[in-house]
């Protein structure tokens, strides 16, 4: 009986917490729910003041950054991976999950100059919501989502990015919304038809960092975990 009571107490404590890191086989948490350890602002060795941790989530507050913002990137780089995280936005907000970021601030001033992006957006409240390939879940400016299972503003969405030997899948709330291939002729055509057509280095790196975008709007991220493939 004592064993069951102990288990119940532990379960209750976890259930009542605002944050409980999800444990999944093969996945490793890259956000500890308490600090920005393992992350830094692009081109710097620290996390800018706009990024804070509260209630188990990384929160970007544009009012708090005081000219000390910038995209938050992982310390580590990844090649073939399965990323999972949850995000929510404030009304009229825009952000993004950028991957294969090549951190060379002398050559590339921003993360998006090298890394493709899974769009994070208030579809109805932000102007980008009126632009094809700019809505939540889209491979930004490249591939439109096949459907839109995004949840209302203020609710948590679970996003997944799977990149395995050039096969890219974006999943939003359990629905595969984008499937394409990286680095082949089709990929080059997608870039050529996008705003990135003349951006040397965009979408070319096969190893890179993961970034959470400072687009100047309020956004939250939590339960960030990754599995190397």
- Mean of the pLDDT values across residues 18-39? 84
CB neighbour list of residue 3: distance below 8 Å, 6 or more residues apart: none
Where is 83: in which H helix or E strand? strand 81-89
114/79 Cα distance (integer angstroms): 14
CB neighbour list of residue 148: distance below 8 Å, 6 or more residues apart: 123, 135, 136, 137, 177
Ramachandran angles phi, psi of 71, nearest 5°: -65, 140
Q: What is the reported pLDDT for 58?
A: 98
Q: Domain limits at 38?
A: 25-228
125-166 confidence digits (pLDDT tens): 999 999 999 999 999 999 999 999 999 999 999 999 999 999
171-187 confidence digits (pLDDT tens): 999 999 999 999 999 99
Residue 9: pLDDT above 70? no
176/91 Cα distance (integer angstroms): 25
Mean pLDDT of the chain: 92
User: Do residues 166 and 181 lie in contact, with contact meaning Cβ atoms separated by under 8 Å?
Assistant: yes
Does 1 fall in a domain? no
Q: What is the reported pLDDT for 184?
A: 98
Does 209 fall in a domain? yes
Q: What is the reported pLDDT for 21?
A: 52
Higher-confidence position of 154 and 4: 154
Does 107 fall in a domain? yes
**Closest among 42, 40, 155 to 31, alpha carbons compared:** 40
Q: What is the reported pLDDT for 13?
A: 39
57-79 confidence digits (pLDDT tens): 999 999 988 778 899 999 999 99
Residue 14: pLDDT above 50? no
**Whose structure tokens read 């093969």?**
26
Domain count, the chain: 1
List the CATH number of the domain containing 70. Answer: 2.60.120.560
Does 17 fall in a domain? no
Does 135 fall in a domain? yes
């Amino acid at each position: 009986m004592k064993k069951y009571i102990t288990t119940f107490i532990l379960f209750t404590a976890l259930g009542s917490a605002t944050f409980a890191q999800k444990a999944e086989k093969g996945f490793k948490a890259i956000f500890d729910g308490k600090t920005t350890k393992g992350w830094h602002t692009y081109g710097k060795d620290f996390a800018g003041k706009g990024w804070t941790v509260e209630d188990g989530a990384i929160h970007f507050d544009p009012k708090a950054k005081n000219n000390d913002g910038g995209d938050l990137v992982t310390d580590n780089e990844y090649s073939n991976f399965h990323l999972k995280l949850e995000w929510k936005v404030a009304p009229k907000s825009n952000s993004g999950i950028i991957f294969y970021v090549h951190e060379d601030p002398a050559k590339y001033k921003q993360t998006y100059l090298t890394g493709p992006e899974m769009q994070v957006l208030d579809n109805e409240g932000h102007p980008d919501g009126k632009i094809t390939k700019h809505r939540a879940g889209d491979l930004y400016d490249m591939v439109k989502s096949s459907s839109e299972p995004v949840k209302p503003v203020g609710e948590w969405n679970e996003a997944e990015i799977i990149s395995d030997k050039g096969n890219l899948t974006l999943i939003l709330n359990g629905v595969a919304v984008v499937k394409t291939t990286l680095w082949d002729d089709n990929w080059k055509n997608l870039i050529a038809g996008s705003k990135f057509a003349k951006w040397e280095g965009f979408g070319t790196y096969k190893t890179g960092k993961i970034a959470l975008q400072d687009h100047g709007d309020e956004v939250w991220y939590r339960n960030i975990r990754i599995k190397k493939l």
